[in-house]
Each structure stands twice: as structure tokens, then as C-alpha cells.
Structure 1
């Protein structure tokens, strides 16, 4: 299985996107080394640079991340066929996103990670204005959705009245083709 991440015009953007994709799914990524792959393992591991891995250790990896030019090129994540079933399932899993308001512990479904970050930013501004008037901490952050896919779809179609305006205003406008 492979997934390619393209550079968005900023330095290391493809590599960072690949690392985030893997981290969000429970993978560890090895240290970088110019001109060489970085190993990946499903779970929490510290992985050495490619040159410091023995042939046996390289063979035990669940996959690799490779970029010919880590600074401005694409990054390719390859998961080996020999990877455990739970690693394959995690690799294929689509992450659903929400804005989690820590304090009252509210969650609201968002379209994607960027939308969740915009909602969290908008709510932070609103809560900052109220900070001296309330005894409750409000800390909105983008986070993976903690409930089922069905619940996420339901929350997207009928958001909480308390947050519906913020969620709608944080969506990017559609661009005509």
C-alpha cells in the first residue's frame, strides 16, 4: 500500500503531511537521513536513522517514508504487505475531525482537520472575550472525532444550536470551477 503526499509550496510540507498522517493513525516514524528512507512501525517506537538499522531491523519495519528531496519534493509512504492487520486497517482508516471544547467537554463534528482548526480558532476568540466573566475553562482544539462515523455524519447535518453559526462561518467558501 502506498500514499503520496505532494509539496504545497512550503518547505518540508509533504514530509510533514506524511508524518502527521502516520502519527494520527498510531504509527511511529524513524529519524530522517538525507537521501534515505525513514522506517515506520505501527505503535509507539523510537526508530533509528536508516544507516543505523541492521538488515534484520530494516526487514522488521512495517514500511517506509521516502522523499528524494525532503525539503521541496513529494513524500511517499509505503506500507509492506507483511505489516500486521491492525497496521493495515489503521493505514486505510479515514480520520473524522471535530472541534473539542475542553472544559465543558463539548465536541462538534467538522468537515476535516483544517475546518476543525478554524472552528477552534473562532471559538478561542469568542471565549477570550468572556474569560473574565466565567468560572469555566474553555479550550477549543482540533481533535479526532471520538464517536462513530454515523454520529459524525449526524452532527455535521444537524450541529448543536450553540455552535452552528461558528461551524458554518469557519467553512471555506466554494470556489466555482
Structure 2
């Protein structure tokens, strides 16, 4: 597994959901606007995050994503692993710092140890800790917002100007009599 831009963006998006998801699901369009990440990129990341149980999704109007479990129980390593695990070998939770078949590498133990330390470090940082740091730094959490939607109103019916005239022979007799 590697530390990629996708992993960094996933951590940013998870912090956003944790900050703003306390009042209800957060739509990907809202996260995309706040974090300047494309919606399609977020959709790919959030499908991986949902598959690993880190977020829960709500469908329909007012839907979006919420944190799947307690933020204190989610580590940065969990987030990075969830979105980058497709590129990792099964069961591998370390980071590729050197190619395993690189014959020129004279210090594989050094890189293996460093990889393990990176995992331990990322495991030691919880999502809750990152959210608390953001709040301490003065990040404002605005009221729950939904993506801007185009409201379609039914067409207004203008009453037609009908002449006050009879519409049948029988009505004609009544009309002339009255």
C-alpha cells in the first residue's frame, strides 16, 4: 500500500463528514464544494469507505453520508487502508517504501521497519483527534446544508377568458329567457 493523494483526500473528506455530519447526512456535493474535490472522485472514495464500514449512507432527498462508527475508533490508517487497499496485496497493511524484488536494495530491514512505524503512527491518530484539532483551530461548523437543488414548480394555470354564452341549443333558450 502507498500513501497516495487519494488517501490524503479521503482523510480530508472524513474530517468534513465528522465535523458536519452531527445534524444529519452530508451530501457529497456539499463536501465537494467545501473541499474542492470532484464529486465523481468522492463517489469512488466513499464506496470504498462504505465497504469498510467507515461511513454509512442514506439514500433519497436529504441523504448523504455519516460516520459509520465512533470517530474515536477510526484511525487514519483505517481510512488510508480503505481507499488504497485495492492496490495492496491481500493481508498487507504496510506501506511500500521499496520494491520487494529490488535486488539493489541493501537495507530491506530498514524500509520494512520504517513501513511498520508509519502504520503504527497512522494507527495512533484517531478521526476524533483530527476533528478536535480542527475545532481548536477555529474551524466553523455551519448549519446543516443541502446541495442547491433546482425547484420545479407546477405550471400556473391562467383561467381562460370564456365568453358568457350558451354552449348548446338548450342553454340558448335559457340564456335568452334570462
TM-score under structure 1 normalisation?
A: 0.27
Q: In proportion to residue count, which structure has more helix?
A: 2
TM-score under structure 2 normalisation?
A: 0.27
Q: In proportion to residue count, which structure has more strand?
A: 1
Q: Which has the higher contact order (CA 8 A, sep 6+)?
A: 2
